[in-house]
Structure 1
C-alpha cells in the first residue's frame, strides 16, 4: 500500500503518517519550528537532495501544513511557513524530541 492510498484509511495515525511519516518530512518540520523557511536553509540543515526537498515541500503545501510565501519576484523565491494546521504538530515533534533524548542519547567516543 502506498502512503497516498491511506487518505481514506479508518486509522487517524495512518492518515497522519501519510502526510508527515518519513524522516525528511519530519526534518523539514523540525527546521520550520526552529525558524527556518528557505529552500537552501533546509538543504544545509538536513543534507537531503534538492529533488527530495522539493517533493516534501510540495506535499506539505498541498496538505495545508506549510504555505508558500513569495519573498522575491525576480527570480521567484519562496519562504515556506507553517500554517495554523502545521503549528498544531508542535506537541508531536516535541514528544519525538523528548523520547529521542531519553531513549537514544548521543553516544560519543571516549578518547584514550
Structure 2
C-alpha cells in the first residue's frame, strides 16, 4: 500500500484529498497545513511516506522552500506538487519534485498520477 503525506493549507482540501486517497486504497500517514509543520511532522514520522502531496502557496513556508528542506533530510522522497500557480512548475521539478498537478484537478487525475509514479498501472 502506497503511503501519502498531505501538505495543504486548505483544510477542506486536506479532508477531500484524504477521503479520495483512502477510497483508492492509499494510506494517509499524516497531514500538515504549512511547510514548517510539514518539516516537523516529517522528521518525527517513524515510517517515512512513499509520496508527499505538496501544495505551494501556504503560510509560514511555501512548498518550494519546504521541499528543498525536506530533500536535505531525505533526497529520495517523492514529491507531487499541486498548485494553481503553473508558473512554479519548472522550479518544482528542478528541485526534485517528480510530478506537478495543476489545480483544480480531478480525483482520477490524482489517482492516475500516484499510480504512474509507482508504476501501478
Calculate the TM-score normalised by the size of structure 1: 0.30
* Bigger RCO of structures 1 and 2 (CA < 8 A, at least 6 apart): 2
Calculate the TM-score normalised by the size of structure 2: 0.28
Question: Larger radius of gyration, structure 1 or 2?
Answer: 1
Higher strand content, 1 or 2 = 2
